Amino acid sequence: MEKSLNEYIEKMVGVVDCINRIDPEYFTKYSVKKGLRNSDGSGVLVGLTEIGEVHGYFISEGERKEDEGHLVYRGIDVYEMVRGFQKEKRFGFEEVCYLLLFAKLPNRDELSEFTELLGGLRALPVGFTEDMILKAPSCDIMNKLARSVLASYSYDDEPDGIDPKNLLRQSIELIARFPTMAAYGFQAKSHYYGGQSLYIHSPLPQLSTAENILHMIRPDNKYTQTEAEILDLALVLHAEHGGGNNSTFAARVVSSTETDTYSAIAAAVGSLKGPKHGGANIKAMNMLSDIKEHVKDWTDDDEVRNYLIKIINKEAFDKAGLIYGMGHAVYTLSDPRTILLKEKAHQLAIEKGREKEFLLYDAVERIAPDVFAQAKGTTKNICANVDLYSGFVYDALGIPTELFTPLFAVARIVGWCAHRIEEVVSMQKIIRPAYKSISRPKKYIPMEER
């Protein structure tokens, strides 16, 4: 049967490929905005939100004007918030969780109460690890994470309730458990697919989210304060990015049907897995590895430039013509996440003896915009996005590549949940956009006449 199926697919794949290609001229003819993008690259306005804002431009006299990038959580600039965490020398992710869920900064007692609550909920339900993770390991942790989310439905006494009280309970439980699900999914994958020793470390209630992640994925449980602080920063910067990013929009679309929380969040996880979304930092790191292999002198800007030209001309790396980690749909002059993460990445590089490698990343950031402008014949500004340095940071922390995107999910689950609650409570209308049919009318032909 398998051979027959393969033969049939070989015979029919050309037909399927042909009939599913829509002539680009139709998009212009019917003013269809492919990818929900306007002609200037900005996103089509499809909703309203009070949760997050991604600012990279403003409209003046009907024209889009570029501006320095800002990321805003519930009206508060993330740059200012991170500087506050750093000045006070404390972890910030739990505070960001509170802010995104409740639209206010917690005082000391409120933060302590919330952090203690998360700590007490990190352990998975009885039997969950053995039955839902270890007995059905996956070679991809994102798929295991999505399955774990769906499986959580069976462990919930009120899985389908969509009143605010139930949504909040489910959200807090998922936020607390995502690090554990990701860590255990990684351990199962490493053991069953990589032949590594299996070790399951229980999360510790007194540790922060970042500390617990390092504690659970490392065989010896050990980590430095600097390592935990940098991972915490990465979580803060990835927690939310407006309603228009693909995975959050997916969560809102599915939530608009009034389905259960687990179905909506699993859909978001599936979206984030894609290399054009959450997997982009892996692409960026792989590209830099390729550059390191083919550029002899990492300090020679001309040599770096020449290789970037080959990449953008589809002559090197994956021959897609993309310089990964550069450019963004909204940010043009600067990505505030990049500024903050790059600063810490440099400190980490010095601590780990990888400053030379970090400077190569910096060279790509400096040189790529000019290479892009010359190759495309454009004056459009592009800046480094957070993916350029996040892969480097995770790698310097000794975090395996297959955990990069799951860690993104561990952070973004907060934004997903906040947007789901807002969608269900405020919108109360199913998201149902229109598609224009361009198929030509055909007559039915009886079997004997075909």
Residues 240 and 333 reside in one and the same domain? no
* pLDDT surpasses 80 at 1: no
Distance from C-alpha of 186 to C-alpha of 405, rounded to nearest angstrom: 12
Domain boundary among 347, 377, 396: 396
Collect all residues with Cβ–Cβ distance below 8 Å to 105 and sequence separation of at least 6. 76, 95, 98, 99
55 within some domain: no
C-alpha closest to that of 395 among 345, 347, 356: 345
Distance from C-alpha of 357 to C-alpha of 299, rounded to nearest angstrom: 10
pLDDT of residue 209: 98
Distance from C-alpha of 215 to C-alpha of 346, rounded to nearest angstrom: 23
Residues 252 and 217 reside in one and the same domain? yes
pLDDT of residue 13: 96
DSSP state, residue 159: T
Residues 284 and 270 reside in one and the same domain? no
Residues 201 and 235 reside in one and the same domain? yes
Long-range contact set of residues 108-116: C-beta below 8 Å, sequence gap at least 24 = 115/208, 116/205
* pLDDT surpasses 70 at 279: yes
20 within some domain: no
For 176-185, what is the mean pLDDT? 98
Residues 254 and 365 reside in one and the same domain? no
Distance from C-alpha of 387 to C-alpha of 232, rounded to nearest angstrom: 16
358 within some domain: yes
As given in the structure block, the two tokens for residue 92 are 């910030």
* pLDDT surpasses 80 at 313: yes
213 within some domain: yes
Distance from C-alpha of 124 to C-alpha of 177, rounded to nearest angstrom: 7
Residues 141 and 207 reside in one and the same domain? yes
C-alpha closest to that of 203 among 267, 268, 128: 128
Confidence of residue 3 (pLDDT cuts 50, 70, 90): confident
Give the mean pLDDT of the chain: 95
Quote the number of domains for the chain: 2
Residues 97 and 210 reside in one and the same domain? yes
| Residue 88 amino acid letter | E
37 within some domain: no
Contact 279, 273 (CB under 8 A): yes
Residues 125 and 250 reside in one and the same domain? yes
Coil, helix or strand for 53? strand
Confidence of residue 2 (pLDDT cuts 50, 70, 90): low
pLDDT of residue 39: 85
326 strand-pairing partners: 384
In tens, the pLDDT along 144-174 reads 999 999 999 999 999 999 999 999 999 999 9
Distance from C-alpha of 58 to C-alpha of 437, rounded to nearest angstrom: 34
DSSP state, residue 50: S
- Determine phi and psi for 314, rounding to 5 degrees: 65, 35
Q: Give the other-Cβ count within 10 Å of 140's Cβ.
A: 15
Lowest mean pLDDT among 100-109, 349-358, 376-385: 376-385
DSSP state, residue 68: E
Residues 298 and 354 reside in one and the same domain? yes
269 within some domain: yes
- Determine phi and psi for 45, rounding to 5 degrees: -70, 115
81 within some domain: no
CATH number at residue 360: 1.10.230.10
CATH number at residue 243: 1.10.580.10
78 within some domain: no
User: Where in the sequence is the domain holding 268, given as residue range(s)?
Assistant: 93-276+403-427
Output the pTM of the full model: 0.95
Residues 319 and 226 reside in one and the same domain? no
DSSP H helices in 161-294: 164-194, 209-217, 225-238, 246-255, 261-273, 280-294
Residues 327 and 269 reside in one and the same domain? no
Which residues are designated catalytic? Answer: 328, 387
Q: Give the other-Cβ count within 10 Å of 333's Cβ.
A: 13
Residues 271 and 284 reside in one and the same domain? no
